Amino acid sequence: MDHSGLTRDQLLDVYYHLRLTRTLEERIGILYRQGRIFGGVYLSTGQEAVSVGAAYALGPGDIIVPSHRDMGAHLLRGIQSREILAQYLGRVGGLSRGRDGNVHYGDIQRGDVAFISSMADGIPVATGVALALKRQGKGRVAMTWFGEGASSRGDFHEGINLAAVLRVPVVFVCNNNQYAYSTPLSRQTRIPDIAARAGGYGIPGTIVDGNDVLAVYDTAREAVERARRGEGPSLIECKTMRMRGHSEHDDASYVPRQLLEEWRAKDPIQGFEARLREWGILDEAGEARIAKRIADELEAAVAWAEASPFPEGKDVEQGVYST
């Protein structure tokens, strides 16, 4: 059986990151419903394999430009769950040091470019990052994530076209979760596959089962290797489903229940767990150990975040202007 060339420890690490992503986001959802979070909360529940699988294909020197549903990518880049919780709680310990109450965070030191809220604007930014990396000539690559809705915006087309023409080392990962807020795919584009858009720019476009973490990893690894070889960008379309509302204030009542049930049966974490068990890599005790490790980590993380103070008014300009 092919395990994507990953060792047993790496496979368990992938599993840990999938579960950490889900559990951390569930915790954030609870904090939101308790009224303790200031901004909106956009979860990746049911599509965690897109950010985890793709980010797992990166090396330490690579740079990510995630979007609002890519918690797994932040975690794999070394952002700590406690920093993310402090971010959502608006505390000084958060990545924007209390200046933002949700998703606009990253850390350039760790190769994580903060999310830009304007949909698809991460694409030209990732192209610029990749141009800088190409000029450095060290074989580093950039990877960016966005939704299928974002792929109908101008920045997507201009950014990908420029990346293709300049042959810069960037991987474009589209999470096609069927909805852009309340708009289903069929009402925002006539094409069924976002990957087809790659053809318009002369780059490879691949469709992958976005709920199969190893399939996402395999496809991303190929695209990353191609970029490292100097062969330019690729577009990967991960077919998945948004299992929550657009944000936690939205009950997604406009999404057919039947569709959600179909996708619930294809849950990426349960599916991967079943395979790990089949391969003899995970058993009940191992699963319980990982669950406990995550629960303990998040307990400590929430306590750490809550102990972190709110920012002081006098520091509001700190880090805002270039000095």
Ligand X SMILES: Cc1ncc(C[n+]2csc(CCOP(=O)(O)OP(=O)(O)O)c2C)c(N)n1
**End-to-end Cα spacing for the chain:** 56
- C-beta closer to Mg ion: residue 198 or 241: 241
Q: Minimum distance from CB of 180 to Mg ion (Å)?
A: 5
Q: Which tokens hold the place of 25?
A: 């986001």
Binding letters toward ligand X, positions 242-261, x by CB under 6 A: x---x---------------
Q: Minimum distance from CB of 74 to ligand X (Å)?
A: 15
- C-beta closer to ligand X: residue 197 or 226: 197
Among 57, 133, 150, 171, binds ligand X (CB under 6 A): 150
Q: Minimum distance from CB of 146 to ligand X (Å)?
A: 6
- Of the candidates 244, 245, 242, 222, the one whose C-alpha atom is nearest the C-alpha of residue 234 is 222
Interaction with ligand X in 94-123: which residues (CB under 6 A)?
A: 117-119
Q: Which residue is nearest to ligand X (CB)?
A: 147
Q: Cβ(196)–Cβ(255) under 8 Å?
A: no
> Which chain residues interact with Mg ion by CB under 5 A?
147-149, 177, 180
Beta carbons within 8 Å of 73's beta carbon, 6+ residues apart: 51, 52, 54, 55, 64, 66, 112, 143, 145
Q: Minimum distance from CB of 285 to ligand X (Å)?
A: 36
- C-beta closer to ligand X: residue 149 or 233: 149
DSSP string, 182-250: TEEGGGT-S-S-GGGGGGGGTS-EEEEETT-HHHHHHHHHHHHHHHHTT---EEEEEE----S-SSTT-
- C-beta closer to ligand X: residue 52 or 131: 52
Is 64 a binding residue for ligand X by CB under 6 A? The answer is no
CA distances from 241 to 109, 211, 217, 267, 296 (A): 32, 9, 18, 10, 29
- Span interacting with ligand X, options 145-153, 222-230, 251-259, 283-291, rule CB under 6 A: 145-153
Whether 157 is a known active-site residue: answer: no
DSSP string, 63-97: EEE--TT-HHHHHHTT--HHHHHHHHTT-TTSTTT
Which listed residue (82, 242, 244, 275) is catalytic?
242
- C-beta closer to ligand X: residue 46 or 169: 46
Q: Minimum distance from CB of 167 to Mg ion (Å)?
A: 28
Whether 32 is a known active-site residue: answer: no
Whether 242 is a known active-site residue: answer: yes
- Span interacting with ligand X, options 147-155, 218-226, 286-294, 314-322, rule CB under 6 A: 147-155
Interaction with ligand X in 161-220: which residues (CB under 6 A)?
A: 175, 177, 179-181
For residue 83, the tally of other CB atoms under 10 A from its CB is 20
For residue 19, the surrounding DSSP H or E stretch is helix 8-33
Rounded to whole angstroms, the Cα distance separating 61 from 66 reads 16
Rounded to whole angstroms, the Cα distance separating 16 from 297 reads 12
- Catalytic machinery residues: 242, 246, 254
**Which positions touch ligand X (CB under 6 A)?**
69, 117-119, 146-150, 175, 177, 179-181, 242, 246
